[in-house]
Structures are given as C-alpha cells and as structure tokens.
Amino acid sequence: MAAIRSVCSFFSPPLARIGPPPPPLSFGIAAIDDRLPTGGLQGNGLHELKPQTPRDAASTLSVALALAAGCPGASKPLLMVLAGRAANEHGLPYGPGLARLGIEPRRLILVIARRTADALWAIEEGLRSRSLGGVIASLEGIAMLPARRLVLAAAEGATPCVLLTGPSKGAISVAHTRWRIASVTSAAHPFDPAAPGPWRCALTLERCRQGPSDLTWAVEWNDASHTFDLAAAVSPAALAAAGAGRRTG
C-alpha cells in the first residue's frame, strides 16, 4: 500500500466539477468507430475487455495498450495496475513491445498490488486525478459496487478506464462497452512466407450502452503506423471459430 501511495502522490488533486467528456478512444477504423455511440470508446467511461480463452490474454492486453497509446491525452502518463497473480501469470510490460504499440516506456506507471482492494484504490485515485491519459488494469473479477465507483471516478476525472477480466468471470454490467478478444492466425509476412505476418485478432462487441452488440471484426496491427486495420481475407469460418463459445451476460 505504501508503494502505491508513493506513486499516486505525483497525481494532481482531483477537480470537483465534471467538465465536458474527452474525445473517445478510437480504433481508427470507421467500420468499428461509426457503430459506437460516441464514435469510439467513450473517453470518460469504463470498458471491459475479456479474452475468449486464457491463451488470448496477451492479445487482450495488446488491444488495451494499443487503444491507450492513441488516447487524446497522448502526452500524459498511463497507469497500469496488475492485481493478484496477474503479474506472475502474464508477465510485466516489455519496453520494445510497448514501442511497437506506439507507447514510450517512460509514459507507463506500473502498480503491482497483492490485494484487490489495493488495486481498486490505485485505479480509482488515478482516474480521479485528471493527470493520466488512461488507466489499464488487470483484475480477475470485480463486484458491482466497486465497478460503479470506477464508473463515477472515470466520469469525474474525464479519464478512460480499460479493465481486463478473466474469461470465465462474470461480466461488468455497468461497463459502457464489453469486448471479447480472440487470437486469429496472421497472414504471411510480405517478405518472408515462412515468417509470421502482422498480429491479428477478432474483436467482438458483446455489449454497448445505447448501441449495437454481437458484432465481430477481424483486425490486424500495423507496426509502421501504430494503427489497426481491417484484416483482409479472413474467412467467415475463422471468425466464427474465434467467436465460438464466448460467454455473454
């Protein structure tokens, strides 16, 4: 707890009045952003990302970091909170990997909390501080009351919060959006057919406040432009397999 407080002591005091909402977090793909009520992920909202299976946890974290990299407050630091066994199971952020997603490693403030209560405190304080470009957190699950507190903190601090939760845990009903992430086989490398091509995944919008649901897109990451592109030549069968067995709620 002392370590968390030492990090959060650098945050500026929260402002009491809620101002206009910030611009949304954008995928940079009109086919996706235009289907969402705010033209992207609401910039002062709570968004849940769930891997389809434990093997998809890395892709889920990559999506969260890629969205945060392009957030409107790109010059502000990003807070990443890992709770419980998350750091042991998924590892810690890797500098060159962050750079490939367009994030300077020095922008990342990392908090590792042994207890869920400490992690929730760090997330809420970070959201209310208005000093961050965004908050990313990995929690195995979260109860209704603390989830509501995070929704209010994101709105008050005009800061987006992206929560990564376990594939089999209950969904956060108060989240503005909920996404299911599944890995998809990459295309061939343009210069070496034996090498893997751009990283791909399937994004399924399971729930959206005042918006559509059960929509799936296959996207791939462009290392040169640090943006998502729609993945061409992904068969309907592959998308169906990526979306099969997902849990909704």
Asked if residue 189 lies in contact with residue 195, where contact means CB atoms within 8 angstroms, the answer is yes
| 154-168 burial: b if 16+ Cβ within 10 Å, else e | bbbbbbbbbbbbebe
Q: How far is CA 110 from CA 7, 16, 80, 87, 123, in A?
A: 9, 26, 5, 11, 11
Task: Establish if 13 belongs to a structural domain.
Answer: no
**12 falls in which pLDDT band (50, 70, 90)?**
very low
Task: Establish if 2 belongs to a structural domain.
Answer: no
Task: Establish if 7 belongs to a structural domain.
Answer: no
Contacts of 25 (CB under 8 A, 6+ apart): 40, 41, 43, 47, 67, 68, 70, 71, 134, 160
More confident residue, 110 or 84: 110
CATH number assigned to the domain comprising residue 189: 3.40.50.300
**242 falls in which pLDDT band (50, 70, 90)?**
low
> For the chain, what is the domain count?
1
Weakest-pLDDT range from 12-16, 192-196, 244-248: 12-16
Three-class DSSP category at 94: coil
Structure tokens given for 127: 């959201």
Task: Establish if 17 belongs to a structural domain.
Answer: no
| CB atoms inside a 10 Å sphere around CB 193 | 8
- The rounded mean pLDDT for the chain is 84
pTM (2 d.p.): 0.84
Range of the domain at 193: 22-243
Weakest-pLDDT range from 1-10, 36-45, 122-131, 225-234: 1-10
Task: Establish if 106 belongs to a structural domain.
Answer: yes
Task: Establish if 120 belongs to a structural domain.
Answer: yes
Tell me the pLDDT tens digit for each residue of 193-223: 777 788 899 999 999 998 999 999 999 998 8
Task: Establish if 9 belongs to a structural domain.
Answer: no
Task: Establish if 44 belongs to a structural domain.
Answer: yes
Q: Rounded to whole angstroms, how far apart are CA atoms 199 and 59? A: 9
**41 falls in which pLDDT band (50, 70, 90)?**
very high
Facing residues of 202 across strands? 182, 218
pLDDT of residue 4: 47
